[in-house]
Chain A
Amino acid sequence: MTDLPTDLTRATAAVLAEALASKTISSVELTQAHLDRIEAVDGAVHAYLHVDHEGALAAARGIDDRRSSREALGVLAGVPIAVKDVMATRGLPTTCGSKMLEGWIPPYDATVVTKLREAGLPILGKTNMDEFAMGSSTEHSAYGPSHNPWDLERIPGGSGGGSSSVLASFQSPLATGTDTGGSIRQPAAVTATVGTKPTYGGVSRYGLVALASSLDQAGPCGRTVLDTALLHAVMGGHDPMDSTSIDAPVPAVVEAARRADVKGLRIGVVKELGGEGYQAGVRSRFEESVQLLVDLGAEVVEVSCPNFEYALAAYYLILPSEASSNLAKFDAMRYGMRVLPEGVDAPSAEQVMSATRDAGFGPEVKRRIILGTYALSSGYYDAYYGSAQKVRTLIAQDFDAAFGQVDVLVSPTAPTTAFKLGDKLDDPMAMYLNDIATIPANLAGVPGMSLPSGLAEEDGLPVGFQILAPAMQDDRLYAVGAALEGALTDRWGGPILDGIPDLPSAGAAGSSNAKGA
């Protein structure tokens, strides 16, 4: 195994887990190193919305104690993690990047969080995100955007840009994400990190503040394919609290990542997810990775999924429809923000509700609530929501047909590298197009992964490579991903993330990076 680096924050979770198991390091030492790193760089990155120094150290101490008393512990016990702020954490603020939930402390843990705690991962804090996971840049966070550690002027992807920038700036070795249309994979792509959207139902949704229930899926984020697999194994599995959770064992993702083998595998390049509209450097890095897979012994063919063309349109009807209903609960009655309307004596519940929703939701959230409310209205339902569901069926059929021919599908994760903060904020359509390659997997419920495939020649920024597999075959993502990661490490002379520039320390650049209005 790789040697433990002097700077513990640079190590992979797999290496740290071994060092902890052999008591070369303690979890307190490791957790403290990350808290120090957060202190030094997060002023510039703004990846965390909340850092739990005491809680993280207490959990680390607990794990160290249990290890001293020779208790059997999970593989990742003692390795700290950052949790996306969409997941309910008992006793820790959970805002979803919204003013609406400012100050809300959930009385319960999401199932995923329970699993993390049971597996002994100290929670460093909660990561930034677009408000209620609506966005591809974190610019829709009510608490300000996170910055891409590759270039602080650029977006770290979204909605999980907090988690991706935490990883790329070494503020945590692992993070959680949720992916409704690409919110794990696209941030991974633009920061040269790894992220997986598991099969729908593979990881519990209980305790995830819902965006679009039929699309949302929690998943693991890491800096390597193996780290991501280790976290996937902890997060996954059946949950009786989630009716849509699949009652089957987690696919053997860790074994697949260690096997890292594509010999004889049939890989399909999706014709519709590439070409026009994709940045030149994205295309060349993608083609190069495909060639590496061929060199490793895979058989590559082109596959057509003709209905993917309608995926974005269907997605932007289904998502807002479900979101408009899911977000109805934010009514100032029981928790979160409460705003009294101005100039109204003894306002009614309805007036308080209305004033609160007006003040508490940002423009993107309002846009989608309005879209969804419209699409579900009687007289429009069949034309919008109904048609979108039909498209969804067609897309699932495209996947079925494709997986009849090949074992996995591949494409670039996102059409471009990270764009500049503010560039697409006023153009929702341009923002939505970021997810064009990731959305089909959510519509069909199949698993997908993004891993770095190098840097684009024209801007020196990371490019993501997407792998898609049939439902409950998540292990294939890891076999292919790890094999490609190995070949790319050879090709680039080390992990692609090693090329990241050093960050200014201790918040020196904090204010200068604030984006212009």
Chain B
Amino acid sequence: MTTTHQADAVVDYDEALSRFDPVMGLEVHVELHTNTKMFCGCPTEFGAEPNSQVCPVCLGLPGALPVVNEKAVESAIRIGLALNCEIASWCRFARKNYFYPDMPKNFQTSQYDEPIAFEGYLDVDVDDGSGGTEVFRVEIERAHMEEDTGKSLHIGGATGRIHGADHSLVDYNRAGIPLIEIVTKPLVGAGARAPEVAKAYVAALRELLRALDVSDVKMEQGSMRCDANVSLRAKTGEPTSAEQLAVPLGTRTETKNVNSLRSVERAIRYEISRHAAVLDSGRSILQETRHWHEDTGVTTSGRVKSDADDYRYFPEPDLVPVAPSRELVEALAATLPEPPAERRKRLQNDWGYSDLEMRDVYNAGAAELIEQTVAAGASPAAARKWWLGEPSRRANEEATDLVSYAAGIGFTPATVAELDSLVRSGRLNDSMAREVLSGVLAGEGGPTAVADAKGLELKQDDGALEAAVDVVIAANPDVAAKISDGKVAAAGALIGQVMKAMKGQADAGKARELILAKLQ
């Protein structure tokens, strides 16, 4: 449903960046896909009948007590290690006290000043401004364990939000699902690339968590959620200059509900433009949470955050401290997948992609899909071409990410490999393959079935093709001469004419072979 929001004034992005330096902070919540919840034995399946996965513990019934899920602690440690963090040898849970109907105990069992992991980093690749790639180091402040809340469903009213609703229903299935919150340090020095850095970070983090096999990381299902903090300060020089870094941080806003890679980029871009407009008008930024609206591409004001927000944290007395032994941490370190940077280098090398191509692949979140597609028999070039083409465009259009989009319609690496094999076998040419792909994405079936149904097949009659080639060579003596002189690139012009003559029903590769064979 579309909602209208009081439009805030915004300043053109480039103009904003000419006067202000943006600083970001990203908080990512990740639901672990452990079999059971953080503090009880309830299952964690997504989409179950409301309130069917609950017990006295996760309903917060009087007298019930939590017990820590060891698997969740192990996942937290593995995430910490993969983010190059230090792992606490002793840490406690803490109670974060506040009232909310979807929080059964009216406190969230979380960690406060003793996180399980702290002081790490994740390197992400961003555009260096001249077509190449450079590494931006995102410093991680902490990763800590906590439990998810239930989910409120507001019934009645126009917006599905609590305002105007007749009543609300609460589903506690999600209450107590293990969460890891990963918090960055303030990200400075990104300058105009701030939105890009944020998107690249979330994409890299998602890739990493998927490789660790600790979470479904489905942003659209909420198993990975991002809150983006943005503030602006006066621009005094280059983003990474000492002069610029010395300028105190401005007041920040925290944008919630940013649930796709694309939204991360858009929401930050929007907030930078909005902050600039507020500051330009001489007003000051209100420290508040903002809600991101995917449909309209704007944020609206949420709750005002003030220093008076007081969660009265204190160590959780119902739980004994978590004290992972050195041996356990070492054993978990041994289970880590290949570090992302090394993996990326290896893949780029194996696939023969340029820096730019590789970055596009990562930004699209397609590395894993391509890896699986190549494993299924496709060439790396074809895999990249097909994944970054139509499917990426549609995922963007639907405001979701590529992996989720593909999973949602059952479009798999094997599908792409099948499409590629149809091209390689000579059955389809490129334009036919694109038509088949459209059919597959429209749910008409697999590539072979779609090609059959549409009667798409290259004419295998080499006689017709050869005749067309002869006609085209005869009509273009100048070009033919160049090719004969070794200027192979000129063949392209002739191939186009041959294909036109064949009404597209021919294999361009074969046409090229014939032309070259006749002229060399």
Alpha-carbon distance A185/B322, docked complex (angstroms):
33
Count of chain A residues with a beta carbon within 8 Å of a chain B beta carbon? 44
Q: How far is the CA of A349 from the CA of B106 in the complex (A)?
A: 13
Say whether B314 contacts A335, CB under 8 Å: no
Query: Quick check: is B90 within 8 A (CB to CB) of the other chain?
Result: no
Tell whether, in the assembled complex, residue B319 and residue A325 are in contact, meaning their CB atoms are under 8 Å apart. Answer: no
- A106 and B170 CA atoms in complex are apart in Å by 20
Query: Do the beta carbons of A208 and B63 come within 8 Å of each other?
Result: yes
A242 interfacial contact with B, CB 8 Å: yes
Q: Does B95 contact A (CB under 8 A)?
A: yes
The complex places the Cα of A378 from the Cα of B415 at a distance, in Å, of: 57
- Is A205 positioned at the interface, with any CB of B under 8 Å from its CB? yes
A155-163, A209-217, A432-440, A508-516 - interface stretch: A209-217
Whether the Cβ atoms of A210 and B314 lie closer than 8 Å is no
Contact B62 A329 (CB under 8 A): yes
Residues in B whose Cβ lies below 8 Å from that of A330: 62
Question: Which residues of B408-451 are within 8 A (CB) of A?
Answer: none
> Does chain B have a CB within 8 A of A406?
no
Closest to A212 in B: B317
Neighbour of B60 across the interface among A207, A329, A353, A376, CB < 8 A: A329
- Whether A108 lies near B317 (C-beta < 8 A) is no
Q: Across the interface, which residues of B come within 8 angstroms of A240, CB to CB?
A: 67
Report whether B314 and A376 are in contact in the complex, using a CB–CB cutoff of 8 Å. yes
A475 within 8 A of B: no
B303 sits at the interface (CB 8 A): no
Expressed in whole angstroms, the minimum distance between the Cβ of A97 and any Cβ of chain B is: 13
Partner of A243, one of B62, B67, B104: B67
Question: Does A131 sit at the interface, judged by CB under 8 A?
Answer: no
Whether B485 is near chain A, meaning CB under 8 Å from some CB there, is no
Judge if B476 is at the interface, Cβ distance under 8 Å.
no
In terms of DSSP, what is the predominant structure of the interface of chain A?
Answer: loop
Q: Which of A325, A331, A373, A381 contacts B101 (CB 8 A)?
A: A331
The answer to whether A70 has its CB under 8 Å from any CB of chain B is no
Taking a contact as CB atoms under 8 Å apart, the answer to whether B62 and A241 are in contact is no
Determine the chain A residues whose CB is within 8 A of the CB of B65 once the complex forms: 205-206, 241-243
Select one of B61, B97, B107 contacting A335, CB under 8 A. Answer: B61
Question: Which B-chain residue is minimally distant from A108 (CB atoms)?
Answer: B56
How far is the CB of A248 from the nearest CB of chain B, in Å? 14
Q: Does B64 contact A (CB under 8 A)?
A: yes
Report how far A250 CA is from B213 CA in the complex, Å.
42
Partner of B320, one of A209, A244, A329: A244
Q: Does B68 contact A (CB under 8 A)?
A: yes
Q: Which of A209, A243, A324, A328 sits near B99, CB closer than 8 Å?
A: A328
Chain B residues, Cβ within 8 Å of A490: none
CB-CB under 8 A from B66, the residues of chain A are 243
- A385 within 8 Å of B (CB atoms): yes
Taking a contact as CB atoms closer than 8 A, the residue among B56, B59, B60, B312 that contacts A377 in the complex is B312
Interface centre among B56, B65, B68, B170 (most CB of A within 10 A): B65
With the chains together, A196 CA to B106 CA distance in Å? Answer: 33
A411 interface hit (Cβ, 8 Å): no
Q: How far is B66's CA from A353's CA once the two chains are assembled, in angstroms? A: 24
Per the CB 8 Å criterion, the residue count for chain B at the interface is 29
CA distance A214 to B316 in the complex (A): 9
Given contacts A241-B67, A376-B312, A378-B310, contact A328 B101 (CB under 8 A): no
A110 CB contacts on chain B under 8 angstroms = 63
B62-A325 in contact (CB<8A): no
Nearest to A132 among chain B residues (CB) is B62
Q: Are B312 and A325 in contact (CB under 8 A)?
A: yes
**Docked complex: A313-366 residues within 8 A CB-CB of B:** 321-322, 324-325, 328-331, 333-335, 349-350, 353
Q: Contact between A207 and B99 (Cβ–Cβ < 8 Å)?
A: no
The reply on B105 being an interface residue by CB < 8 A is yes
Describe B's contact surface by its main secondary structure: loop
Q: Of A104, A322, A373, which is within 8 A of B317 by CB?
A: A322
A-facing residues in B307-357 (Cβ within 8 Å): 310, 312-314, 317-320
CB nearest neighbor in B for A109: B63
B168 CB-CB contact with A under 8 Å = yes
Whether A377 lies near B62 (C-beta < 8 A) is no
Q: B63 to A328, Cβ gap below 8 A?
A: no
Q: Is A107 an interface residue (CB 8 A)?
A: yes
Residues of A within 8 A of B99 (CB): 328, 331, 350, 353
Q: From known contacts A214-B317, A244-B320, A329-B104, infer whether A101 and B68 are also in contact, taking CB-CB under 8 Å.
A: no
Chain B residues within an 8 Å CB radius of A350: 99
Which chain A residues border B62 with CB–CB below 8 Å?
88, 94, 96, 101, 104, 106, 209-210, 329-330, 335
Q: Is the CB of B317 within 8 A of A213?
A: yes
Proximity string of chain A (90-130) to chain B, C-beta cutoff 8 Å, 1 when within and 0 when not: 00001010000100101110100000000000000000000
Which residues of chain A have C-beta atoms less than 8 A from B97's C-beta?
Answer: 324-325, 328, 376
CA distance in complex: A302, B170 (Å): 60
Residue of A nearest to B95 (CB): A325
Chain A nearest Cβ from B320, distance in angstroms: 5
Q: How near does chain B come to A349, taking the closest CB pair, in angstroms?
A: 5
With A and B bound together, what is the CA distance between A209 and B63 in angstroms? 4
A335 / chain B contacts, CB cutoff of 8 Å:
61-62
| A450 vs chain B, min Cβ distance (A) | 25
Binary per-residue interface labels of chain B (362-381) against chain A in the complex, 1 for a CB within 8 Å, 0 otherwise: 00000000000000000000
Contact with A along B52-91 (1 / 0, CB 8 A): 0000100111111111100000000000000000000000
With A and B bound together, what is the CA distance between A244 and B101 in angstroms? 28
- Which residues of A lie under 8 Å from residue B320 when comparing CB positions? 243-244
A212 to B312, alpha carbons, bound, how many Å? 16
CB distance from B337 to the nearest CB of A (A): 31
| Given contact pairs A328-B99, A350-B99, A206 touches B312 in the complex (Cβ within 8 A) | no
Please tell me if the beta carbons of B56 and A107 are within 8 angstroms of each other in the complex.
yes
How would residues 175 to 207 of chain A score, 1 for a CB under 8 Å from any chain B CB and 0 otherwise?
000000000000000000000000000000111
In the docked arrangement, what's the CA distance between A378 and B106, Å?
18
In Å, the complex CA distance between A101 and B319 comes to: 25
Contacts of A212 in B (CB 8 A): 317
Q: List 25 A-B contacts (CB under 8 A).
A: A88-B62, A106-B61, A106-B62, A108-B56, A206-B65, A209-B62, A241-B65, A243-B66, A244-B319, A321-B314, A324-B97, A325-B107, A328-B99, A328-B106, A329-B60, A329-B62, A329-B105, A333-B101, A335-B61, A349-B168, A353-B99, A373-B312, A376-B312, A377-B312, A381-B312
Chain A residues with CB under 8 Å of chain B are: 87-88, 94, 96, 101, 104, 106-108, 110, 205-210, 212-214, 240-244, 321-322, 324-325, 328-331, 333-335, 349-350, 353, 373, 376-378, 381, 385
Known: A329-B105, A350-B99. 11 other contacts (CB 8 A): A88-B61, A88-B62, A207-B64, A210-B318, A243-B68, A243-B318, A243-B320, A244-B318, A333-B101, A376-B312, A376-B313
